[in-house]
Structure 1
Amino acid sequence: MNDVPQRTDSDRLAALGYHQELRRSLGVLGNISMGFAVVSPVVGLYAVAQVGMAVDGGAWVWALPVCLLGQLLVVGVYSELASQWPLAGGAYQWSRRLAGPSFAWMTGWMWQFAVMFANTTVAYLAAPWFFALFGATPTPPQLVLTAVGFMLCCTLVNAYGINLLRGFVSLGIAAEAVASVGVGLALLLFFRVHGFGLLLDTLDAPAATGSSDVMSFLAVIAVGGWAFIGFDACVSTAEETKDAARQVPRAMRWALLSVGAVVVLNAVSVALAHPDPARVVAGTDLDPVTTAVTTGFGDWSAKPFVVVVLVSFTACLMASQGGAARGLYSLARDGVFPFAAQVRRINRHKAPIGGLVAATLISCAALPLGLESTAIGSLITFGTAATFLPFFLLCVAALVARLRGTWRPAGEVSYGRWGTPLNVLAVLWTGLEVANICWPRAVLAPPGAPWYQVWAALLGTGVVTVAGAAYLLVKRPQRLMRDGDPGEGRTDELAPAVL
């Protein structure tokens, strides 16, 4: 019998060029909880239900299975990558091994700003629910200040390390999952007021917006993709997950499937239990989810429902903020992000405090946009486009590397000969969704919205891309990356630092 020593997670990390600095204490359930919280069925449904129904009536729900299937293709590609290179900052780390330093840096830059601005949006959208607990109507400055408060509270929890974060997030998603499934089933079984034929009825929404049935459905798919992003938060905590090469791919798959099932259930339930979906199409009901719940359960349910939504937004923000911090940490420890020596620091709780502070500052810096509601709408549109663009770039990089023979999946997860066709489909899906989201549509903007909100996806991604390209040309961070040991090229000031 051969006594072959088993490689530990720290050994695997060292083989990839890094020291174990973060606390590795998450099991597969803890990793799933991070992905579930960021994808968040309640947050996702609230982001898309009103727009989806207004654009395509009851038939909008069919966009959700399409988006879920497309995102499962992306998870397939991500699984092969995460199992071979289980590193925080996956988009950056993987693309540098697939396509080289410059491409990797731009991919990581785009992904980071997408996540940080998404955190801005989540914090801002959570603020009104705080005032709803007290029946108060906030002013725009009050919403912004409350959003800052949410952001700082979540920062404090994140600063105490992965174990406290896991505890808060797990409690949040437990409450959200039970409430979501319970409310969805109750609406469907006991408070349904329409037949299932409503799910095939556009309620003349395309005609009302001057669009065709096909174009309206494509617009809903563009919006629906927002409900199924965030599973890559499982990758962000890869260096804190035990047996990450096996468990992270599993966690991504289960997080997306579980959230997808709950989102589809609740979308169908809300549509069928809504007393008058035509009001949503007409634009007189801007909150169909709350309308369906309070109509079915009665007015007494309003406050408990507000609590569930508030908890869901808070758990989503905590987990997403933690993912953003770990992505910045991954870039900064290679010295390729501005102020890298400070951003790459960890504290005595083994939390990436430098990345956490940087992510919080950038997210909060965008919150004053909330003083103008149309600007926040632009931020949401940009965030969706900027999230799908790194998906697309990474899937393209993986496919090109496969076809060139420079990458053959060698991790715990490999789809063999099926990997290439799956990768092709993932490229087609993400490419379609990037073009679909960036296509300027007045129908997805509020009535009378300024031109820049209609073009927000293209403008936002363009600005971030140009800024990243300028930094790349001036500072040349790609020179610090080498094809060999990722740790090479780091200066002494970027050595492991603990506060």
Structure 2
Amino acid sequence: MDDTRTDAGDLAEYGYRQELRRTLSTWAVFAIGFATISPVVGIYAVVQLGFVFAGPAWIWAVVAAFLGQSLVAVVYAELSSQFPITGGVYQWVRRLGGPRLGWLVGWIYLASAVASLTTVAYLGASWLHMLVGDGTPSAATHVLLGVVFVAVALGINLLGVDPVKHFLNAGILAEGIASIAVSVVLLIFMRHNGFGILFETLGAEAVSGGSAAAGFLTCLAVAGWAFLGFDATTQVAEETEQPRRSVPRALLRAYLFVAFTVLLTGLAVTLALRRPEDAVSGATVDPVFAAVTDGLGGWSEKPFIVVVLIAFLACAISIQTYIGRAVYAFARDRQLPFSATLATVGPRRIPYASLIATAVLAGLGLLLGLNGNAAATLIAFGSGGFYFVFLGVAVVALVARTSGRWNPSAGRLRLGRPGLAINVLAVVWLLFEAVNIAWPRVELAPVGGSWVQVWAVVLVFSVLFAIGLVYVAIAEPHTKLPRNTTTEEVKAS
């Protein structure tokens, strides 16, 4: 690999010209990855459901998800080192598995990414209501506040890359306060439970028919949500300086730092709760808020809500940033309807049309919230789609690696034989977790929900996959690729 070539020249080898502004440093890419994975968004969404399904022992499901996703993060880091192109999974699978498969994986990825933006907006709306209102918001109010979240995130993204960087830096500061600083205070000064409680369920298995194992698996399905988003770093490769080196470094650092923060926060909250049995029964609706405000006092309520809101908003901004780039990469290759419009880059050198389109779709997804509390359903949607994509990418990478179609050692990140073992283990983990998340569970559906809602993840993604197959068969998007980007050989092999 010639490290002296320019980033633009590197990009030209893949058939693209430099259209986006290449101004992101390793730190800026780290900020995007950190804000997207977001320990605040991840843990605050998971902890409530974790207590309900597994009691204080829920923390071990988070540990298991962290270890499994660490394998996936390493595979993604290898791929991002090899292919420094905006589009991430779509570009990787297209080149290693063929354009048809690349389109299908990219299609599911886009649907999952939009679902994740919807989920973050819906969860963030709860904190926004806590700041400006009292009691529990109506379903319509909750959805409206979620739309506000999406609109604000879009507005900031449309200002350009530099404002986004500033807001993400503010988000990292908020995450540090809301997660690390508060967690350390809780652990040192406000611990009400011993470490032995981490091995107790406090009767949570009753929700899963009396089976602690079933409750743990349900908790593990939800815990997977806490470790999504590290691939956001790969979507800004064409805006990053020295992406072959910077992107994989930022990806791994963001993932590990977020994982540390998530585990620290989960441990602190579990040990600081005065009455953990109330979190199991649902009497304590928000264990994190209860642990913090009980420990620090009533004066901390509003400041804590503001800090958490900043973190949620930074997460929404970052998600919209990378979704816009993913759609742009698809449209640039003429793979979507209205591709010419979606691939438009404005004066600020950002894909503004793609950003607007994804914001509208995410806003429409919020309508699911009109049918009562949709938090668990939306988390299952977002997690399910991403884990299907993770699995597809890991399998394609493994097949390409073992068949000689891909030579990972040609990239800047060189793992050698351990890379193959990690890839195999990643496939095993993802196969298990994808099935676990998609498994139909009454307890994850809205109260009184129909069988359609219980099977929602399987049904929705089966329909999306079927639509994708029909589109590939009829529209044949793989035949519309620009001529100079249709090469199927891996450049660095």
Confirm or deny a common fold (TM above 0.5).
Answer: yes
- Is structure 2 residue 190 aligned with structure 1 residue 191? yes
- Is structure 2 residue 295 aligned with structure 1 residue 296? yes
Give me the whole-angstrom Cα distance separating, in 2, the residues matched to 1:321 and 1:301.
30
Q: Which moved more, 1:144-153 or 1:252-261?
A: 144-153
1:133 aligned counterpart, secondary structure: helix
Give me the whole-angstrom Cα distance separating, in 2, the residues matched to 1:79 and 1:131.
38
2:5 aligned counterpart, secondary structure: coil
Do the aligned residues in 1 keep the contact of 2:45 with 2:123 (CA within 8 Å)? no
Do the aligned residues in 1 keep the contact of 2:30 with 2:250 (CA within 8 Å)? yes
Where in structure 2 are the equivalents of 1:29-428 lying within 5 Å?
29-137=27-135, 138-375=137-374, 377-409=376-408, 410-428=410-428
Aligned partner of 1:493 in structure 2 is: none
Aligned partner of 1:6 in structure 2 is: 4
Query: Which amino acid is the alignment partner of residue 109 of structure 1?
Result: W
Question: In the superposition, relative to structure 1, how do residues 299 and 135 fare at CA in structure 2: closer, same or farther (>3 Å)?
Answer: farther
Measured after TM superposition, the shift of residue 406 of structure 1 is 1.0
Query: Which amino acid is the alignment partner of residue 17 of structure 2?
Result: H
Give me the whole-angstrom Cα distance separating, in 2, the residues matched to 1:378 and 1:63.
19
Q: Unpaired segments of 5 or more residues in structure 1?
A: 489-499
1:407 aligned counterpart, secondary structure: coil
Aligned partner of 1:496 in structure 2 is: none
1:406 aligned counterpart, secondary structure: coil
Do the aligned residues in 2 keep the contact of 1:379 with 1:456 (CA within 8 Å)? no
1:285 aligned counterpart, secondary structure: coil
Aligned partner of 1:450 in structure 2 is: 450
Give me the whole-angstrom Cα distance separating, in 1, the residues matched to 2:389 and 2:457.
14
- Is structure 2 residue 456 aligned with structure 1 residue 429? no
> What is the aligned length?
485
1:366 aligned counterpart, secondary structure: helix
Measured after TM superposition, the shift of residue 374 of structure 1 is 4.7
Give me the whole-angstrom Cα distance separating, in 2, the residues matched to 1:282 and 1:365.
33
Give me the whole-angstrom Cα distance separating, in 1, the residues matched to 2:420 and 2:340.
39
Measured after TM superposition, the shift of residue 397 of structure 1 is 0.2
Do the aligned residues in 1 keep the contact of 2:174 with 2:308 (CA within 8 Å)? no
Q: Which moved more, 1:461-470 or 1:315-324?
A: 461-470
Give me the whole-angstrom Cα distance separating, in 1, the residues matched to 2:286 and 2:351.
38
Give me the whole-angstrom Cα distance separating, in 2, the residues matched to 1:325 and 1:434.
25
Do the aligned residues in 2 keep the contact of 1:334 with 1:487 (CA within 8 Å)? no
Measured after TM superposition, the shift of residue 208 of structure 1 is 4.8
Give me the whole-angstrom Cα distance separating, in 1, the residues matched to 2:446 and 2:263.
25
Give me the whole-angstrom Cα distance separating, in 1, the residues matched to 2:205 and 2:375.
25
1:437 aligned counterpart, secondary structure: helix
Give me the whole-angstrom Cα distance separating, in 2, the residues matched to 1:159 and 1:38.
18
Measured after TM superposition, the shift of residue 145 of structure 1 is 2.3
Question: In the superposition, relative to structure 1, how do residues 211 and 22 fare at CA in structure 2: closer, same or farther (>3 Å)?
Answer: farther
Q: Which moved more, 1:137-146 or 1:36-45?
A: 137-146
Measured after TM superposition, the shift of residue 447 of structure 1 is 4.1
Give me the whole-angstrom Cα distance separating, in 1, the residues matched to 2:153 and 2:30.
19
Measured after TM superposition, the shift of residue 61 of structure 1 is 0.2
Measured after TM superposition, the shift of residue 65 of structure 1 is 1.7
Do the aligned residues in 1 keep the contact of 2:129 with 2:145 (CA within 8 Å)? no
Question: In the superposition, relative to structure 1, how do residues 369 and 463 fare at CA in structure 2: closer, same or farther (>3 Å)?
Answer: same
Do the aligned residues in 2 keep the contact of 1:160 with 1:351 (CA within 8 Å)? no
Do the aligned residues in 1 keep the contact of 2:83 with 2:244 (CA within 8 Å)? yes
Do the aligned residues in 2 keep the contact of 1:51 with 1:444 (CA within 8 Å)? no
Q: Runs of 4 or more off by more than 6 Å in structure 1?
A: none
Give me the whole-angstrom Cα distance separating, in 2, the residues matched to 1:379 and 1:62.
23
- Is structure 2 residue 475 aligned with structure 1 residue 475? yes
Give me the whole-angstrom Cα distance separating, in 1, the residues matched to 2:111 and 2:420.
29
Question: In the superposition, relative to structure 1, how do residues 376 and 342 fare at CA in structure 2: closer, same or farther (>3 Å)?
Answer: farther
1:25 aligned counterpart, secondary structure: coil
The alignment yields a C-alpha RMSD, in angstroms, of 1.8
Measured after TM superposition, the shift of residue 239 of structure 1 is 0.9
How many percent of aligned residue pairs carry the same amino acid? Answer: 43
Measured after TM superposition, the shift of residue 364 of structure 1 is 1.4
Do the aligned residues in 2 keep the contact of 1:275 with 1:292 (CA within 8 Å)? yes
1:335 aligned counterpart, secondary structure: coil
TM-score (norm 1): 0.94
Measured after TM superposition, the shift of residue 453 of structure 1 is 2.6
Q: Unpaired segments of 5 or more residues in structure 2?
A: 488-493
Query: Which amino acid is the alignment partner of residue 443 of structure 1?
Result: E
Question: In the superposition, relative to structure 1, how do residues 5 and 35 fare at CA in structure 2: closer, same or farther (>3 Å)?
Answer: closer
Deviations 1:178-219 (A, max 9, x none): 331111011111100011100011112114531422222222
Query: Which amino acid is the alignment partner of residue 171 of structure 1?
Result: A
Query: Which amino acid is the alignment partner of residue 109 of structure 2?
Result: W
Do the aligned residues in 2 keep the contact of 1:18 with 1:487 (CA within 8 Å)? no
Measured after TM superposition, the shift of residue 23 of structure 1 is 0.7
TM-score (norm 2): 0.95
Measured after TM superposition, the shift of residue 281 of structure 1 is 1.5
Do the aligned residues in 1 keep the contact of 2:193 with 2:271 (CA within 8 Å)? yes
Q: Which moved more, 1:211-220 or 1:370-379?
A: 370-379
Query: Which amino acid is the alignment partner of residue 383 of structure 2?
Result: T
Do the aligned residues in 2 keep the contact of 1:50 with 1:288 (CA within 8 Å)? yes
Aligned partner of 1:495 in structure 2 is: none
